[in-house]
Amino acid sequence: MDQINLNGMEFWGYHGLFPEENKLGQRFYVDLELELDLKPAGESDDMDKSINYGDVYEAAKSIVEGEPKNLVETVAENLAGELLQQFHLLDACRVKVTKPDPPIPGHYKSVAIDIYRSRKDD
């Protein structure tokens, strides 16, 4: 399946289980793989046969910078659901939400949630 990829989008959100996360906020990175048939767009040069990257960015921003959630899992699930609802040409999507600075002990670069959802999941 063809893909549109949006990588390394950075947002400021207030998600997490700890009160300081909900108050202070923190960075979140989002990577998206959008699966759809791009041949009609490529052959016709018609934007109506593809998905507008700016609209996808705004959808991601509204979820990640929107209402705080306890779990990054919920953020990813809400984003996948919004993408599938808003973009009718989209067959499936992979959503990766990375939390680079979670307030948990240990040495690591980040924690991330990576999910794959398709219209067949409905």
Q: Is 99 a catalytic residue?
A: yes
Q: What is the rounded CA–CA span in Å between residue 25 and residue 12? A: 7
What secondary structure does DSSP assign to 56-91, as a single string? HHHHHHHHHTSS--S-HHHHHHHHHHHHHHH-TT--
Sign of CA dihedral 106, 103, 58, 87: positive
CA distances from 14 to 22, 47, 72, 120 (A): 5, 34, 10, 31
Q: Which of 49, 69, 99, 120 is catalytic?
A: 99
- Helix (H) / strand (E) element for 29: namely strand 26-35
Catalytic residues: 99
